[in-house]
Amino acid sequence: IGIKTPLEIDPQGKELLKMHYVLKDQLADNLKNLLLTNHGERIGQYRLGANLRPLLTEYANKDDFDSEAMLRINTAIARFMPFVVPIEYDSRTERENSSIVGKVYILVVYSVPALNIQREQIELALRVI
């Protein structure tokens, strides 16, 4: 159905790259790529993506971050994958070695009614520098 990302050579040698053979897996891969893409990263499609990474520099408190991240995620999904229905959203932070550097994890639970896909989830890991 499609190429698996991140790109990997197929160790079995059936294909050049590892592939997705199930629509649900390809859809999850495409959704994750959409949400991890920032504006300006895709040539010819400046507005593609949820543009979450710039939001990390403004992380002041969880409530403000969550509401803006949810808005950006919902906007990207509505524009580029309108068949996906976001259901739940959550985020958590993780600090590395008691420093200000860490990661923000964003969990998105979604459904795709047209394909009878219910309550699938993906987790995004965004590094804060």
Least confident of 10-24, 40-54, 90-104: 90-104
Tokens linked to 69: 């991240």
As a whole number of angstroms, the distance between CA 49 and CA 20 comes to 22
CA angle, residues 54, 56, 58, in degrees to nearest 5: 90
**pLDDT at residue 19, rounded to an integer:** 86
pLDDT of 101 > 70? The answer is no
Look-up: residue for tokens 């985020």?
A: 91
Residue 56: Cβ within 10 Å count = 16
Bridge partners (DSSP) of residue 3 are 19
Arithmetic mean of pLDDT, 13-25 = 86
Percent pLDDT > 70 in the chain is 96
For residue 31, name the pLDDT band (cuts at 50, 70, 90). Answer: very high
- In this structure, are residues 128 and 102 in contact, taking their beta carbons and an 8 Å threshold? yes
Looking at the whole model, is its pTM more than 0.75? yes
pLDDT of 23 > 70? The answer is yes
**Would you tell me the crossing angle of helices 62-80 and 23-36 to the nearest 10 degrees?**
120
Q: Cis bond leading into 6, ω under 30°? A: yes
**pLDDT at residue 48, rounded to an integer:** 94
For residue 99, name the pLDDT band (cuts at 50, 70, 90). Answer: low
